[in-house]
Amino acid sequence: MGRLCDVRDENVQVIYVSPVRLGDDLFQYYTRLLGLQQRGQGGPQEATGGPQEATVDPGGGWGGGARTTQASCTKRFTILTPDALEDFPTHNMCLSTLLKYSPRTLRRIRNLIQGQHAYMVGGVAHLDDLAVADELGVPLLGPEPAVARLYSTKSGGRRIFTGAGVTVPPGQWDIYSLQQ
């Protein structure tokens, strides 16, 4: 949800894909939050122009470039929920998988980003992130899922530091069983 604050930049449109349906009270909360942040920065500032940019973020947002008013900010963020959420209410699927099986939501995103520079920002890397990014025709800002799985663990971090010649504290790594 923090990526919604990116809309303070006039060249940014944020489309947040939520894993749950948000009520009007939460939508109003985030709208007010954007207004408070605006006041805290001393009021609106003049736009710098430039190309419009958008980023797709299942679990994150569409992000991209000058500060502006609360009313303008609220016009540049959209919160969507995958329609497959209703089709698979008891299944524990990641957000990208739900989005992959939500043709209406994908069509709506495609319409919202049409003619704009866009990129997708995911959470924990998953193969379906790649499928959704491919379906939308946008690049994915993040690592390949296999690379993320390999290096996003303590063992992966130790492997990176050791390979770079950085001293690591004593300990075991690449432990896969209780006996190890």
Q: Where are the domains of the chain?
A: 2-142, 144-180
Rounded to whole angstroms, the Cα distance separating 95 from 85 reads: 9
Q: What is the mean pLDDT of the chain?
A: 77
Task: Identify the pLDDT of residue 59.
Answer: 47
- Verdict on whether the full-model pTM lies above 0.85: no
Residue 7's pLDDT band, with cuts at 50, 70 and 90, is: confident
Q: Tell me the C-alpha to C-alpha distance, in Å, between residue 66 and each of 25, 49, 116.
A: 28, 7, 17
Task: Identify the pLDDT of residue 46.
Answer: 29
pLDDT at 64 over 50: no
Rounded to whole angstroms, the Cα distance separating 48 from 27 reads: 28
Task: Identify the pLDDT of residue 98.
Answer: 92
Higher pLDDT, 107 or 94: 107
Task: Identify the pLDDT of residue 134.
Answer: 94
